Amino acid sequence: MPSYSAAMPRRARPAPIAADPIGMTALAAFGLAFALGTALRGIPHWIGWLYVLASVSCFAIYAIDKAAAIGGRRRVSEATLLWLGTLGGWPGAIVAQQVLRHKTIKRSFRLRFWLSVGANVVALTCFEFVLH
């Protein structure tokens, strides 16, 4: 008598995705630059906590969007995801993209995402060197 598991088709498993070297490099470079800026130039610690809070929030919103995509429910707009990244959540977005395997293929989104990362870093740099 055949077992039920033998009769049922196996679900295709997606191939593992390699870590995004650009994203991981950007995270490492930002972390190092922020640590050096804090140590050498006195970047206020509250800015680091804002990045942590924004990153955790951004990761959660990416997870909600991924679940909605799988479940066929209403999605979070790309504009919202990009604004969250621009406001400091981009480190969490990079982690979410890799861990959740979400928003990694669409070239137009990826381009706008990296532009939003650049805008955030420029804004932080202006804050640090111009206003501080």
- Binning pLDDT at 50, 70 and 90, where does residue 40 land? confident
Residues 48 and 34 sit within 8 Å (Cβ to Cβ): yes
Type of residue at 78: E
Residue range 16-25, pLDDT digits in tens: 555 678 888 9
Calculate what percentage of the chain has a pLDDT beyond 90. 62
Angle at CA of residue 15, ends 13 and 17, nearest 5°: 135
Residue range 48-57, pLDDT digits in tens: 999 999 999 9
Per DSSP, the residues of 89-124 read IHHHHHHHHHHTT-S-S-HHHHHHHHHHHHHHHHHH
Residues 14 and 101 sit within 8 Å (Cβ to Cβ): yes
What average pLDDT does this structure show over 109-132? 89
What average pLDDT does this structure show over 36-45? 88
